[in-house]
Structure 1
């Protein structure tokens, strides 16, 4: 492998993750793009005329915990950077009435991330590992009646990443949590969202690919303001939010 750096993107079929593939390649990375939907990734690679020497498509199922160790062991090369971008969303009313949807959000958004990232993080034989990035959400900052089940999975994932950052600090491995607002992606199709707050996938990807040392990264100044307000808002006012 002639590339200086390697990145493993888990849940690589999301719109943001696909933009990360392009931007990491642009920076000279060898990209391992892992997803259940390998057909979609193969089409994406062909559409963008990406060289097979620069990207490797792998099958990864976030919900199949028993497969995660073998998946990691069989990687063509161990990563310098691991990005967990897998996500699943059903609306709150559906999740309240049908636990199947709630459970799948928990499995994909939180448990799958913990399972595979524990394996990545605890491999001390991988001297290359320098960064782990998890994609979280502003929905996880405070519990709100419109999306608290989805938000709870993101809150749990953020807290996991915070602890993992402390665990890995002695090894000088950086852990980042991308706390993201609305993005123009397929997961948000059909939702009534404030157009002025919607970010494009390539814009968000820039913050992932160029992540620094800070733990919490909130793309877009408008969302940074919202994030800060949510953190300090009294419970009585949070209860009035949609």
Structure 2
């Protein structure tokens, strides 16, 4: 149901499967959406297919092009009430260990780019609209595991950043949430051998983002909540035995 909120949400990395579902659900709640991504063509096709042209503004945004972030934000016609950082990049851990190019790209997209643009947004004293910042993190960042610790380290850093940002913005009553997410049926996971019973659909995860409450860490799905809690307390000797 459209609630006519007259509020704006900025989705950074809006071309992901989860982000596209967020666009749909925010529109259903009455938000105007600024969808920002490197892949403008794909977003335009998505908007046209769903007849969202009047509700969605599409902008070019490259999370790894740090020097462009200030200009991007300053030129927004509407300053957002909600910001969702959904940009992400993943390369196989073995490849990341042997080729720093992929590792560097993960660092830039998953962490450095997020810090760059979110610092700009969070420190804008003139934007009285800002109510919430949501970052999409990962269970991979909870503990270092030999199968994905390079990617996981970028997500761990992002979660730590969001935790501090939450404290920084608390006095302004701006909420910060970290979605700590497990396996999703998305493009980024295509070809990976994953446990089918643990895979979540993008629209399911999007509901947790769009309806984020006061909790800092939000873990969609009961199974993943249990896994998250186990990972937090598991002795290092047992973590070392995990894949």
CA positional deviation for 1:3: 5.8
Residue ranges of structure 1 left out of the alignment (5+ in a row): none
Aligned length: 240
Residue ranges of structure 2 left out of the alignment (5+ in a row): none
Q: Residue 23 of structure 1 corresponds to which residue in structure 2?
A: 25
User: Which one of the candidate residues 6, 10, 16 is aligned to 1:4?
Assistant: 6
Q: How does 1:33-182 map to 2 (within 5 A)?
A: 33-50=35-52, 52-182=53-183
The two structures have a TM-score, normalised by structure 2, of 0.98
Instruction: Calculate the aligned-residue CA RMSD, in Å.
Output: 0.8
The two structures have a TM-score, normalised by structure 1, of 0.98
SS in 2 for 1:32: strand
State the distance in 1 between where 2:71 and 2:36 align: 14
State the distance in 2 between where 1:125 and 1:32 align: 19
SS in 2 for 1:146: coil
CA positional deviation for 1:147: 0.1
Partner deviation per Cα, 1:194-227 (whole Å, 9 max, x = no partner) = 0000000000000000000000000000000000
State the distance in 1 between where 2:202 and 2:77 align: 28
State the distance in 1 between where 2:227 and 2:106 align: 24
Q: How does 1:202-217 map to 2 (within 5 A)?
A: 202-217=203-218
